[in-house]
Chain A
Amino acid sequence: MFFPISGADISPIYLVIVGFVIGILGGFFGVGGSFIAGPALRLVGLDWNFAVGTDLAHIVGKSVVAAKRHRALGNVDLRLGLIMALGTIAGAEAGAQLIQMLKRAGNVNLVVSIVAIVVYLSISTFMLWESRKTLKSQKRQLPNVNGPVAKTDKSAFRPVTRAIQRLKIWPMVALPTSGVKAISLWIILLIAFVGGLFGGFLGGGGGYIRMPSMVYVLGIPTHLAVGTDLFEIVISASYGTFSHAVKGNVDILIALVMHTGAAIGAQIGAISTQYFAGPKIRLAFVPLPLIGAAIVIYTLFTGDKL
């Protein structure tokens, strides 16, 4: 099928399958999945600028479907999502500026690659340690229960999260949907800003940083972190799509075709979260940043951009 906007000739079946796989991942983990979508689009010859912009447009559609499904399951904290969207947009702009500065200095690829590898490996290692520790302590305490699971979370990192929640930096915000009595607005904005910064700096939506941060720093239960992150992605990715479309980096026809697969995948992913406890979702999340790290290491050593 020929797509006149980008001038690419791509099989629609391939796009639907890629969308479907990313949809499942996004619905289940609350991530945009750009670390797979970007290389997958590059693999069939789409230019890098179109791969990034088109992927963002497709993320908007997929996140609408997954967030709607999560909302029906009671997994979206609207107040938290709206606050985080502000921080993410500001962070994404700062990340993009940082990239421009490094481009001028002439060492953008090396710096971004090293930062990405360190960040991805740190997230995976930490989540592996925490989720396994939590699952071990739960095994000792609770009998095994089948069927849909409770949304309240146990975490081995809980004491640190409580200490962060006790920081009284005005103004304080209550998040009743997430079960947080009071937390500083600045901490929420900071977390969102850092997620956006890494998204703008390393590419993609930054869900691989934001979702774990919401769980470990803000103390949001995993199911709610996944649903709220998706809702927040709808707003921040829409902003990114508009910005890229104005620069001529979005082939909306490719995004629409990809999204037909993602729509059904996102629903499957979102519904599946009901059957897994928070620590198990976090443990299953561990390979995702590792895939991202592997892609970066590959591009660093071969010089190819997947």
Chain B
Amino acid sequence: MKKQTARTLRAFAIELAIYALLIVAYFFLVLHLLGEWLYGLEIHHRYTYAGLSILLIVGQAVLLESLTTFLIRLIRGRSE
């Protein structure tokens, strides 16, 4: 039981480390590029901005859910 818990925790730590690296890259690339454009959209085209906001957050949610599921499978699959 203890061995299994240690294995799960190790897999989770590796997963968090990979996830953190990807997120840092995401901050610098995507948000930096999108920031000014979304700012302009928010001022001049409110309805487009509102619709796009929902699409962006749902899109990111689906993407990150797939990414974390993939990482969990990959890391746990290898550690077992």
Contacts and interface: CB of A to CB of B under 8 A. Distances in A.
Interface of A: 1, 3-5, 12, 16, 57-58, 60-62, 64-65, 68-69, 238, 241-242, 245-246, 248, 250, 252-253, 255-257, 259-260, 263-264, 267
Contacts of B36: 4
A12 B23 CA distance: 11
A21 to B, nearest CB: 15
Contact of B60 (A4, A12, A250, A259): A259
Given A60-B54, A246-B46, A263-B64, A252 B31 contact: no
Nearest to A53: B53
Contacts of A241: 50, 53-54, 57
Nearest to B24: A12
B65 to A, nearest CB: 5
Contacts of A248: 42, 46
B38 A64 contact: no
Contacts of A252: 38, 49, 52-53, 56-57
Interface of B: 16, 19, 23, 26-27, 31, 34-36, 38-39, 42, 46-47, 49-54, 56-58, 60-62, 64-65, 68-69
Given A5-B38, A257-B27, A68 B65 contact: yes
B64 A65 contact: yes
A245 B50 contact: yes
15 contacts: A5-B42, A60-B57, A61-B58, A62-B61, A64-B61, A241-B50, A242-B51, A242-B54, A245-B50, A246-B47, A252-B52, A259-B60, A260-B23, A260-B64, A263-B68
Nearest to B19: A264
Nearest to B72: A267
B46 A245 contact: yes
A120 B23 CA distance: 36
A64 B65 CA distance: 9
B27 to A, nearest CB: 6
Nearest to B27: A12
Contacts, number: 95
Contact of B62 (A64, A246, A257): A64
Given A68-B65, A263-B65, A264-B19, A57 B31 contact: no
3 A-B pairs with least C-beta separation? A245-B50, A64-B61, A263-B64
Given A5-B42, A65-B65, A68-B65, A250 B58 contact: no
Contacts of A250: 50, 53
Contacts of B57: 57-58, 60-61, 64, 241, 252, 255-256, 259
Contact of B34 (A62, A64, A238, A253): A253
Contacts of A64: 57-58, 61-62, 65
Contacts of B62: 64, 68
Contacts of B53: 57, 241-242, 245, 250, 252, 255
A65 B60 CA distance: 10
A256 B51 CA distance: 15
Contacts of B42: 5, 248
B21 to A, nearest CB: 12
B74 to A, nearest CB: 15
A47 B62 CA distance: 29
